[in-house]
Structure 1
Amino acid sequence: MPPLKRKRDYARLIILLAGALPLILGTIFTVIDAHHTVRQQQVSAAKTLLSQAEKMSDSGWDMITSLRKYHYQPCNQIEDKLQLAGTLSAYFRAIGKLKDDRVACSSAYGLNPGSLKEMIMRDPPVTGRAWWSLSIAGTAGVPNRPAVIFVRQLPDGEGFWAVIDGQYLMDFMEAIGESRSYQLSMRFNDGAPISVGKVETVKNRFFDAQTYQTTSLRYPISVNIVAPGSELARAWRQVLFVFLPMAAIFSILLMILTANWLQRRISWRDEIRRAINGRQFTVHYQPVYNDQLQRCSGAEALMRWTLPNGTVIRPDIFISAAEAEGMIVPLTRHLIELIAEDVQDWEVEPGFHLAINVAAEHLQHPEFVSDMLQFVEKVKHQQFVITLELTERSLIKDGDAVARKLDALREVGIKVAIDDFGTGHCSLSYLMTFSLDYLKIDRGFINAIESLGGETPVLDAIINLSFKLRLQVLGEGVETPLQLLYLQQRGVVFIQGYYYAQPMSNSALKIWLKEKGPLPIHVEDHDASELHPS
């Protein structure tokens, strides 16, 4: 598979991955959010359940406290009072007195109903404390329904107890957990669990049950809440339906941005590299007219790109692409190599100007000076005056380093020109800071010359400023006799544009130089008196 095609296949894969990324991240996010949502629901349910259990515990211990008034009173004297208190008080299954490990009296079963162990159907806990509570699976009278017993044992062997029916807690737990299919469980100390809810028998393929445990800060009560996988799945679907449209939009946008980035990152870089290796680039040369010598005295080198199928890529497109893709330095080096090949057999007089456009990135490259010195060495037999044309933005970054490079090149005879002056962001002080030789007036100012009677104060100011700074002036983009006359009357020596000559291939230029290079421009008849030289 060709390297470029392989990279394009990789690019398609990257685009697909970019589109999938928001969906994948969104899915992960929604799963995390679903877990968080269910956890918050469990925390809220546990707080509510513990609050109710604490209220019932408060009632239990309040009942124990109220029974203390029957201390030292025989059971046969308080039997009716116990029955009345047990009947009128909410939650309570039975209340009574203890004598050591036996139930002395009960509001439900009268006198001497049996031992404490028999009543709660298990051994009493060994807590080492006079106060204790315990959840139990049932009592002797109601063995199949859980309850909670509260006990206060006194130093003289007597004690008091109260049993709260667990049904109250179970009803409350079912009300909390039924809508979400929770399995809830509560324990007092290490007693029997009071549980509601069914254990999930069918496991969810993608979500496991989520368990939450907590304890009361006031009493030894623990709560365990199990949210089934189906509840997590339901919460996830709710979040997903909200997030999915946004994720889809982000996915499409990211695919578009990635495709655009890869198109420039891969296609242009590889195409330019292939074009260099395949010698698809050529150089065209546009002659420059010297108004003092009345003949052609130089030419500007302009790179052109023609694909194998004959398609021509515009310079502004491939140069911008090369700058964006970090290929402008290799491209400029290729340009001067092509120029060095072309000019070997030119028949020009010594001092012929050869202008080369230099990109800002190449100017700031560490090997820029050596690149240009090598080029000078290759074409030294022609005795050219080599002119480097720089844009204004080339001077803005690393100004001191750029100035040193330009000074070094000027010492070996290379000239420096500012191209398209007036269209960039360069301060006028740069014209004094840097060692310059030529100033090229942008074609936009030349086009402002519209009629014989027109005036262009900005153009005139640029020309006057150049003369005061002792810079040679070149007007580019000259396309009409009127523009030529205007520049001639204002002392502009160098003229470049379609009116004089169009850019042409190397072979065409060599013929043109022999036939038309020595000839002056024949200006069409115009009433030059209407022009007002500055």
Structure 2
Amino acid sequence: MRFSKVAIKKYRLYRLLLAAGAGLFAFAISMGGRYSQELDTVRTAQHKAALSAVQQIDRLLNSANEISTTHNELVNSSCPQAQPRLLNMSVQLQTVRAILLVKNDVIFCSSLFGHRDYQLDVMFPTFAKPGHNLMLKAALLVKRGSPTLLFWVPTRSDPHSGMIHVFHIAMLSSFILEPQKPYVNYMALNVEGQTLIYGQEMIRQTRDITDKPSVALNSDRYAYSVGVFSDPDWQLALRSLPQHIPLSLLVFMLAGIIVFMVSANRMNLAYHISSAIQRKQFQLYCQPIIQSQSGECDGVEILLRWYDERQGWISPDIFIPLAEQHGLVQSLTRHLLYTLEQNKHLFPQTPDFYISINIAAEHFAQGQLARDLHKLWYQFNPVTKLMLELTERSELQPADYAQLTQLRAMG
């Protein structure tokens, strides 16, 4: 097609805008995918941090529970007899500050201070309640006021006797609750409405903490939970996006280049011919064939003309040769036959009148022309005769001459 300079300039601008739009769409999809991945990364990291803290605390309590079960007969010993073994147990556990022995709800021995005489429900009223075996409490003697975690392990035979393990939780929390930047700002241990926050030496009421945890994970075995506090996950995900911009820009460029190159096919005449056939832009014009002696019209020659809304009238000298070159001349002929059959009532319905159309030699190949004529014309039993004119642009192959006999038989 002979595109005008203005049309070419406009179409190139259209291609650039289309390529830019496709690139931006690919960029947005890429960044959106990265954002979703970062959200998953943030949430997974926060859950892993909470899970790791719970597992470590569970291991501490499991070890204390196991050693208490093994030596539960100590509750029936005197304090002088039991204290050396309690000290040895503290050494084995390493993380325990002290171990207290309880007999009939009376604390009678400490691994650090020996003989004691305290009522359990007075010193630790939480443990007097059935099923409550953990509490956070400020130390009363050693390093007074520092946070401790108390673990009550009653004997199986007597729920009023057993051992209390006193963990120096402030020291342990500096390892167990250590935040993993940038996904975790800080972590907290919650026990029975009491909370110990990483890096703090003071136990706080859980209800007084206004921040909402990003993740709160409960232990499956013991009555405590670990909270993970961080900035909103969407903010963390957004902060990490800049590192993905180079790759997304590459996706943007590749998508834009591909669309720009593919859209170049629309500048090709073959594309426009196919599109024009589908949009029925080709029109049929009749050129009368006049008998010179009588002056009567014996028939018409059908001429195919193309009017494009942007380019106007396009000469057959342009589109016919190129249609033949791109293998579209058969499609043009089929369109002509279909349109002609739809409008055959406009012609004189007499056997003496004929309609002439041009046929390219390529249409003879493998019997295509005979099949198309039967399907698009003769199956409707037209009265008007059809005359075929072979164009001079290509030579009829010897193998196609047999089809001429078939066409003559068809009329």
What pairs with 1:61-460 in structure 2 (closer than 5 Å)? 61-87=65-91, 89-112=93-116, 114-116=118-120, 119=123, 123-124=125-126, 128-129=130-131, 132-141=132-141, 142-154=143-155, 155=158, 157-173=160-176, 175=178, 177=180, 180-188=183-191, 190-196=192-198, 211-229=214-232, 231-238=236-243, 240-241=244-245, 243-253=247-257, 255-256=259-260, 260=264, 317=269, 320-325=271-276, 329-332=280-283, 335-336=284-285, 339=286, 343=288, 351=298, 354-356=301-303, 359=332, 362=335, 369-374=341-346, 376-377=347-348, 385-389=354-358, 392=363, 403-407=374-378, 411-415=382-386, 417=388, 440=390, 443-445=393-395, 459-460=397-398
User: Does the C-alpha gap of structure 1 residues 11 and 243 become closer, same or farther in structure 2, counting only changes over 3 Å?
Assistant: closer
CA–CA separation in structure 2 for the residues paired with 1:41 and 1:110: 45
Offset of residue 70 of structure 1: 1.0
How many equivalent residue pairs? Answer: 353
- Structure 2, gaps ≥5 residues long: 1-6, 201-211, 305-330
Secondary structure of the 1:95 match is: strand
TM alignment of 1:14-33, pairs within 5 A: 16-33=20-37
Residue 36 (structure 1) shift: 0.8
- Structure whose alpha-carbon radius of gyration is higher: 1
The SS at the match of 2:67 is helix
Does the 8 Å contact 1:135/1:194 carry over to 2? Answer: no
Question: SS at 1:412's partner residue?
Answer: coil
Structure with bigger RCO (C-alpha 8 Å, 6+ apart)? 2
Please tell me whether residue 56 in structure 1 is matched to residue 25 in structure 2: no
The whole-number CA distance in structure 2 between the counterparts of 1:110 and 1:232 is: 55
Which structure 1 segments of 5+ residues have no match?
199-208, 265-315, 418-437, 447-458, 473-534
The residue identity in structure 2 corresponding to 1:192 is Q
Secondary structure of the corresponding residue to residue 193 of structure 1 = strand
Provide the C-alpha distance between the structure 1 equivalents of 2:213 and 2:374, rounded to a whole number of angstroms.
70
- Which stretch of the first structure deviates more once superposed, 400-409 or 24-33? 400-409
Give distance in 2, aligned partners of 1:157 and 1:414.
Answer: 116
Equivalent residue letter for 1:37: T
Following TM superposition, by how much is the alpha carbon of 1:136 offset from its aligned partner in structure 2, in angstroms? 0.5
Whole-angstrom distance in 1 between the partners of 2:135 and 2:56 = 15
For the residue of structure 1 that corresponds to 2:133, the secondary structure is strand
Query: Residue 329 of structure 1 aligns to a residue in which SS?
Result: coil
Cα–Cα, structure 1 residues 72 and 145, in superposed 2: closer, same or farther, change >3 Å? same
How far apart are 1:92 and its partner, in Å?
0.3
From the superposition, tell whether residues 416 and 320 of structure 1 become closer, same or farther in structure 2 (CA, over 3 Å): farther
Q: Distance in 2 between matches of 1:126 and 1:384?
A: 116
What is the SS of the residue equivalent to 1:82?
helix
- Asked if the contact 1:184–1:197 (Cα under 8 Å) also holds between the matched residues in 2, the reply is no
> What is residue 315 of structure 2 aligned with on the other side?
none
C-alpha change, 1:165 and 1:61, in structure 2 (3 Å) is same
CA distance in 1 between partners of 2:398 and 2:119 (Å) = 120
Q: Which amino acid aligns with 1:462?
A: D
Alignment RMSD (CA, Å): 4.4
User: Would the alpha carbon gap of residues 227 and 153 (structure 1) be closer, same or farther in structure 2, given more than 3 Å must change?
Assistant: same
Taking a change above 3 Å as real, the CA distance of residues 70 and 173 of structure 1, as seen in their structure-2 partners, is closer
1:507-527 deviation digits (Å, cap 9, x = unpaired): xxxxxxxxxxxxxxxxxxxxx
CA distance in 2, matches of 1:169, 1:402: 92
Compared CA separation, residues 236 and 396, structure 1 to 2 (3 A) = farther
- Using structure 1 for the length normalisation, give the TM-score: 0.54
Contact 1:181-1:231 within 8 A present in 2 as well: no
**Which residue in 1 is equivalent to 2:313?**
none
CA–CA distance in structure 1, aligned partners of residues 52 and 378 of structure 2: 83
Question: Aligned partners of 2:273, 2:102: CA distance in 1, in Å?
Answer: 97
Residues 1:43 and 1:389: Cα distance change in structure 2 (over 3 Å): farther
Name the CA shift for 1:183/1:396 in 2 (closer, same or farther; >3 Å). Answer: farther
TM-score normalised to structure 2 length: 0.67
Q: Against the structure 1 CA distance between its residues 22 and 144, is the aligned structure 2 distance closer, same or farther, given a 3 Å change threshold?
A: farther
Q: Is the 8 A contact 1:183 1:226 kept in 2?
A: yes
Indicate if the aligned counterparts of 1:136 and 1:193 stay in contact, CA closer than 8 A. Answer: yes
Confirm or deny: 8 A CA contact 1:135 1:193 kept in the other structure: no
Contact 2:299 2:356 in 1 (8 A): no
